[in-house]
A and B are shown apart, each in its own frame.
Chain A
Amino acid sequence: KQEVTQIPAALSVPEGENLVLNCSFTDSAIYNLQWFRQDPGKGLTSLLLIQSSQREQTSGRLNASLDKSSGRSTLYIAASQPGDSATYLCAVQTGANNLFFGTGTRLTVIP
């Protein structure tokens, strides 16, 4: 069974700093990997989706990479802002309807 792990569980950084969130998965046979943001008590907002054949995706200050063979993905956030404070979840899709979530990294950006 696919297991998704996110490290660290929590992270606090001062505003303006660049940071990296990590996601690892045990089964490399994935369709894609998606990064989400979740604000407290809210649903999920999709940030980036990387197909299994891709190595990275970029959107604004966000860059996500995927190394499928090693079962790793990173989410890079440049020039962090207080509004980036949220929990970041990665999820891998292994089948038509199988989406496995990590436990998330709770990010706090300190003004």
Chain B
Amino acid sequence: GAVVSQHPSRVICKSGTSVKIECRSLDFQATTMFWYRQFPKQSLMLMATSNEGSKATYEQGVEKDKFLINHASLTLSTLTVTSAHPEDSSFYICSAWTGAGPNYGYTFGSGTRLTVV
């Protein structure tokens, strides 16, 4: 079935550094991927929509210069948290729309736990 692979699963970084998170569609092509953030005991909040070959679309309140998204191929989208601060510590999850077929629907990656110290 449709699988979205997300790496790393956990990352700890120092304040001020940048962290890159990768999201890959393993057995299908994803022209559009989505990046969510989830704070403890809260639901998922959409941060941005990543479009292959074009600029990402950011939700209101999400800083595009801080959360850089690159979708250079049909199977890979990356989220880079630049100049990370402790308040950026969160659980980041990507997803892709799998389109028609038996796996119709949204498929999610396994998430990345980011801790900024």
Chain A residues with CB under 8 Å of chain B are 32, 34, 36, 41-46, 49, 89, 91, 93, 97, 99, 101-104
Size of chain B's interface in residues, with CB distance under 8 A? 21
Q: Are A43 and B6 in contact (CB under 8 A)?
A: yes
- Within the complex, what minimum Cβ distance (angstroms) separates A22 from chain B? 15
Residue pair A43, B49 in contact (C-beta under 8 Å): no
- The dominant DSSP class at the A interface is strand
In the complex where A34-B106, A42-B110, A44-B108 touch, is A101 in contact with B49 (Cβ < 8 A)?
Answer: no
Q: How far is the CA of A93 from the CA of B104 in the complex (A)?
A: 13
> Contact between A101 and B44 (Cβ–Cβ < 8 Å)?
yes
Interchain CB contact under 8 A, A89 and B43: yes
* Residue pair A43, B44 in contact (C-beta under 8 Å): no
Chain B residues within 8 Å of A36, by CB = 108
Task: List the 6 closest pairs (A to B, CB-CB), nearest first.
Answer: A44-B108, A43-B110, A49-B105, A43-B111, A101-B43, A103-B43
Q: Which residues of A contact B32 (CB under 8 A)?
A: 97
**DSSP majority for the B interface?**
strand
B78-111: CB near A (< 8 Å → 1, else 0) gives 0000000000000101010100000011111111
Does A43 contact B93, Cβ atoms closer than 8 Å? yes
Q: Please, how many angstroms separate the alpha-carbon atoms of A9 and B74 in the complex?
A: 37
Tell me if B91 and A41 are in contact (CB < 8 A). Answer: yes
Indicate whether A102 sits within 8 Å of B43 (C-beta atoms), given known contacts A41-B113, A44-B93.
Answer: yes
Asked if residues B110 and A46 are in contact (CB atoms below 8 Å), the reply is no
B106 near A46 (CB under 8 angstroms)? yes
State the CA gap A34–B111 with chains docked (Å).
19
* Identity of the chain A residue whose Cβ is nearest the Cβ of B113 in the assembled complex: A41
Contact B106 A43 (CB under 8 A): no
Q: Which residues of B contact A49 (CB under 8 A)?
A: 104-105
In whole angstroms, how far apart are the Cα atoms of A46 and B3 in the complex?
Answer: 11
On chain B, the residues within 8 Å of A91 by CB distance are 106
In the complex, A49→B49 CA distance in Å? 21
A99 touches B106 (CB 8 A): yes
Interface string of B24-46 (1 = CB under 8 A from A): 00000000101000000011101
**A102 / chain B contacts, CB cutoff of 8 Å:** 43
